[in-house]
Amino acid sequence: MFSQTIICGPIVCLYKGNGVRHGPERWNLSSSFLTNIICLMRNFIKRKFVSWKLLKQRPTLPPLCPMDGIPSSPSIGSNLSHQKQAEVLLKQIYTNQSERQILERKLKNLRELNQNDKYIPSIKEMEYASRIAWRNATRCIGRLLWSGLLVRDKRSCFKADDIFKEIKEHLAIATNQGNIRSVITVFAPISKDPDLIISPQLIRYAGYRYNDKEIIGDPENFKLTKLALDNGWAPPKNEFDLLPVIIRTSSGSHKLYKHLDDSVLEVKILHPSIEGFNDLNLKWYAVPAISNMFLDAFGDLYPVIFNGWYMGTEIGSRNLSDPYRYDKLPKIGNLMGLDISDETTMWRDRALVELNYAVVSSFKKANVSIIDHHNASREFLEFIANEHAAGRDINANWSWTVPPVSGSLTPQFHLNFQDKELKPAFVHSNLNKIIT
């Protein structure tokens, strides 16, 4: 298969001169602490060089090391029993030779389950599954730090009041006074019939439609806003009203929970030089916490809340710019003195760049975590180098990893990826669909 002799072992990969360790999670127990540290530092420097080199030439993917040994994951939609899915994931978790007896005991217990019984993972196993689900997320450009995800195991939470208590705690930990932490909170599985969060994100701005021409707020949240209004919410009806968190109980009723005034960190979007920009009174929240997805792992679905931090274009190029969202580009173009009646003036492009600059600079000035699309792309290349050195092929959705501004200036624009969604994974379900 390969034209050269491959000297490759479970600790150090020498395939085509990679000279790096197999994955950040592995540690050579037979070597000294100093030897391990030197190897890790060498690995870090090598991968930084690989990602830098890719930025300076026509992008090509680094070689894929043939040394793997980790069982392949089932893809989403594959027809495997829930117990077989649990078996595959357990084999991924307990890969070290020293854990062989643990794995055999786990597999024995799994085989003794009745056909309809679900495997109950340990805290360690749930932590591993959550992190691997992030690593498998093909639409995410920011997977470099997947192994550092903070996992909160709250599978004992079934009821709405308890769930909202954990929501408040999750936001406090994630916000971290602006130094955003990547956090996931895992709730009781669907097999236990828990109450479910309906809100797509913990923090959303309301949208009100009076007629086709009079729209206030975020049009994307019309349905969620109507559901809140129908259940007794009485907002001031301004452009950036924080929606309450909506939880559907197992009986089908809805419970609304308002955020406390100091529990949501928001950033005012300001521009240092465009006159009149700051009078637009733009702002956005700091923590993008997804709350309507499920962790598909061990043959069960677990409701989760998870967050990273924003890439600037998510706010500047989408949330505030899309014609079907806040649609602020025409106003910004006018403030810049551009002729917005003539597309050849490139007024949209010029206004878009300035809005993105305003978003990133405002977050940085407020000391709130954010990353621009160029640095995010560099980190994505580093993630690819890590995965290939570990013997894992990269799966990515091209249209999601290429940013919505300056796409061709980023290396992933010039690359092709396979887009195979593997389990464990974060998935949507009709179980918590918004119904008005």
The sign one gets for the Cα dihedral 95, 100, 105, 111 is positive
The answer to whether residues 288 and 314 touch, using CB atoms and an 8 Å cutoff, is yes
Residue 50 forms part of a structural domain = yes
- Residue 129 falls within a domain, yes or no? no
Q: How many CB atoms lie within 10 A of CB 55?
A: 13
* 309 or 40, greater pLDDT: 309
Confidence band, pLDDT 50/70/90 cuts, at residue 96: confident
Whether 239 has a pLDDT exceeding 60, the answer reads yes
Which residues are identified as catalytic? Answer: 140, 143, 309, 314
Q: Give pLDDT, residue 210.
A: 85
Residue of 43 and 357 predicted with greater confidence = 357
Note the pLDDT tens digit of each residue in 123-156: 999 999 999 999 999 999 999 999 999 999 999 9
Q: What percent of the chain has pLDDT over 90?
A: 71
- 239: number of Cβ within 10 Å: 17
Check: CB of residue 255 under 8 Å from CB of residue 160: yes
- Residue 170: its H or E element: helix 160-175
Average pLDDT rounded to a whole number, residues 336-353: 97
Q: Which pair of tokens denotes residue 106? A: 């786990």
Comparing C-alpha atoms, which of 215, 198, 197 is closest to residue 206? 215
Q: Please give the full DSSP string across 131-146, using - where no structure is assigned.
A: HHHHHT-TT-S--TTG
Q: Structural domain tally of the chain?
A: 1
The answer to whether residue 5 is domain-embedded is: yes
Using an 8 Å Cβ cutoff, are 384 and 61 in contact? yes
With respect to residue 85, please indicate whether it lies within any of the assigned structural domains.
Answer: no
pLDDT of 116: 81
Select from 52, 50, 74 the least CA-distant residue to 64.
50
Whether residue 265 is contained in a domain is answered as: no
In this predicted structure, what is the pLDDT of residue 78? 66
CA distances from 270 to 152, 173, 223, 362 (A): 35, 27, 30, 6
44 found inside a domain: yes
- Whole-number pLDDT of residue 23: 42
Query: For the ranges 93-97, 218-222, 314-318, which has the lowest average pLDDT?
Result: 93-97
Residue 34's domain spans which residues?
1-67
Q: Please indicate, yes or no, if residue 135 is contained in any of the structural domains.
A: no
Amino acid (1-letter code) at residue 289: A
Give residue 382's Cα distance to chain centre.
17
Long-range contacts at 8-14 (CB < 8 A, ≥ 24 apart) = 8/65, 8/66, 8/67, 9/67, 10/67, 10/69, 11/39, 12/39, 13/65, 13/67, 13/389, 13/391
d(CA 292, CA 279): 34
Give CA 169 to chain center in angstroms: 19
Residue 398 lies in a domain: no
Tell me the pLDDT tens digit for each residue of 38-94. Answer: 766 766 666 666 555 555 666 666 676 655 545 556 666 567 888 889 999 999 889
Do 198 and 248 touch, CB atoms closer than 8 A?
A: yes
What does the alpha-carbon distance between residue 40 and residue 20 come to, in Å, rounded to a whole number? 8
The pTM assigned to this predicted structure is 0.85
Residue 341 CB partners (closer than 8 Å, separation 6+): none
